[in-house]
Amino acid sequence: MTQAQPSDRNSTLLLLSLVVFNFFSFVSIGIPLAVLPSFVHDQLGYSATIAGMVVGLQYLVTLLCRPLAGRLADELGAKKTVMIGMLSCAGAGVLLLASAWLEASPGASVAVMLVSRVLLGFTQSLIGISGISWGLNTFGTEHAPRIISWNGVAAYGGVGVGAPLGALLNGTLGFWSLGALTTLIALTGFYLASRKGPAPLNRGKRLPFRQVLWRVLPVGMSLALGTMGYGTLSAFIALYYAARGWDGAAWCLTAYACTFIGTRLLFPNLINRVGGYPVALGCLAVECVGLLLLWLAETPTLALAGSALAGAGLSLLYPALGVGVIARVGANNGSAGLSVFAMFFDLALGLAGAVMGVLATWAGLRSTFFAALLMGLAGLALAAWLRKTQRAADEAVGRSG
């Protein structure tokens, strides 16, 4: 496996050249995000429920394809998997373009769009893990926190660029332009990937999926419990503000995003210096303080501060716990392990709206943040147990050595 020093300028440029594929894929995901529901509902004449199902199908496919994506990245190599993902993204763009052309036949249009969403979900699962896998196999697993963090920033940044860009294009050129741009971005990504040298490939023993899932399970549960806070915030902060008679709910999401990305940029080497589980414990503690403020908030300023703390807390949780995943499954199964790990993140975001929605109906909107706080504390306890078991294992290895 080729090793590189992250402080070297050339290795930084190399890492950026790998992260760009994740950025491209998430720009493509963001492009239709703000426009697709209104197109299905207003232009095609379907209900809001159908519009929501069309949007949500992509995320369901991403979740279901995570294990396959990890296996392909480990067995075929990251370069081939990225290229497959980019071709899938190009297909999604072509079908989105065809959906616009079929607007006069709503049934055909939405059917084609559903296939486009399936391909886009497959794209996200493949490229999301391949970008990380390519970096891990190039730089070594000791640089996992930095690689995972940079890919995370690329993902959030890609959606942040894609969503307003899609809205702008839809308003100026029309819905067809979203499919055209998605196709262009995907083909550009395919070309760039094809021009790169072969990605390093681990040839070691592969664990069966069931063993990977079992080893990742406790770490994934800690991530899921912590992620419920973000799912609750994004789903209910607007309703929470409206119920209190406050304005400016969108600023909570802005504050969350700024502290999330800012923390990753300000502390790029913290996990390497302190360790994955200690950072995860600190992250969950900060997030819990933020959720506590949201639960107790009597002014929008306090709610804004709680959102900012929650963003800062969750920022490094994924890469910090990701280090634990790689340690539990081994470098040879790193892509498969991180793919299963990502499933817990997807599940948490998918369940947050439904679970907290039932709770809000039964006990009020404020109760959702209290429940998220309790889940965050449970994630904190689980991370503390994981740290304890890791330290015991390390001490046992030290004694035997």
- Please check the confidence at residue 267 and state whether its pLDDT lies above 50: yes
Which among 213, 202, 195 has a CA at the least distance from the CA of 140?
202
Q: 153-157, 310-314, 338-342, 385-389: which has the minimum mean pLDDT? A: 153-157
Mean pLDDT within 179-194: 95
- Please check the confidence at residue 218 and state whether its pLDDT lies above 90: yes
In whole angstroms, what is the distance from residue 88 CA to residue 85 CA? 5
Give tens-digit pLDDT for 343-375: 898 888 777 777 888 888 888 888 889 999 999
- Please check the confidence at residue 230 and state whether its pLDDT lies above 50: yes
Greatest mean pLDDT among 4-13, 91-100, 249-258, 353-362 lies in 91-100
Q: 55-59, 84-88, 93-97, 203-207: which has the minimum mean pLDDT? A: 203-207
Residue 177: helix, strand or coil by DSSP?
A: helix
Mean pLDDT within 285-290: 96
Mean pLDDT within 147-161: 81
Q: What is the pLDDT of residue 131?
A: 82
Give tens-digit pLDDT for 99-124: 999 999 999 999 999 999 999 999 98
Mean pLDDT within 89-108: 94
Greatest mean pLDDT among 102-116, 155-169, 248-262 lies in 102-116
Mean pLDDT within 65-74: 84
In whole angstroms, what is the distance from residue 218 CA to residue 143 CA? 23
Q: What is the pLDDT of residue 391?
A: 83
Mean pLDDT within 372-395: 90
Return the higher-pLDDT residue of 240 and 102: 102
Q: What is the pLDDT of residue 203?
A: 64
- Please check the confidence at residue 4 and state whether its pLDDT lies above 60: no
Return the higher-pLDDT residue of 49 and 174: 174
Buried residues in 105-130 as b, exposed as e (16+ CB within 10 A): eeeebbebbebbbbbbbbbbbbbbbb
Return the higher-pLDDT residue of 126 and 395: 126
Q: What is the pLDDT of residue 2?
A: 44
pTM here is: 0.77
Q: What is the pLDDT of residue 96?
A: 95
Q: Which residue has the tokens 């390497």?
A: 272
Q: What is the pLDDT of residue 381?
A: 96
Q: What is the pLDDT of residue 1?
A: 42
Domains within the chain, CATH numbers bracketed:
9-195 (1.20.1250.20), 209-400 (1.20.1250.20)
Which among 105, 81, 109 has a CA at the least distance from the CA of 179?
109
In whole angstroms, what is the distance from residue 331 CA to residue 24 CA? 26
Give the model's confidence band at 278: pLDDT under 50 very low, under 70 low, under 90 confident, else very high. very high
Cβ–Cβ < 8 Å for 206, 332:
yes
CB atoms within 10 A of CB 355: 18
Mean pLDDT of all residues in the chain? 85
- Please check the confidence at residue 204 and state whether its pLDDT lies above 70: no
In whole angstroms, what is the distance from residue 281 CA to residue 286 CA? 9
Q: What is the pLDDT of residue 191?
A: 95
Q: What is the pLDDT of residue 34?
A: 73
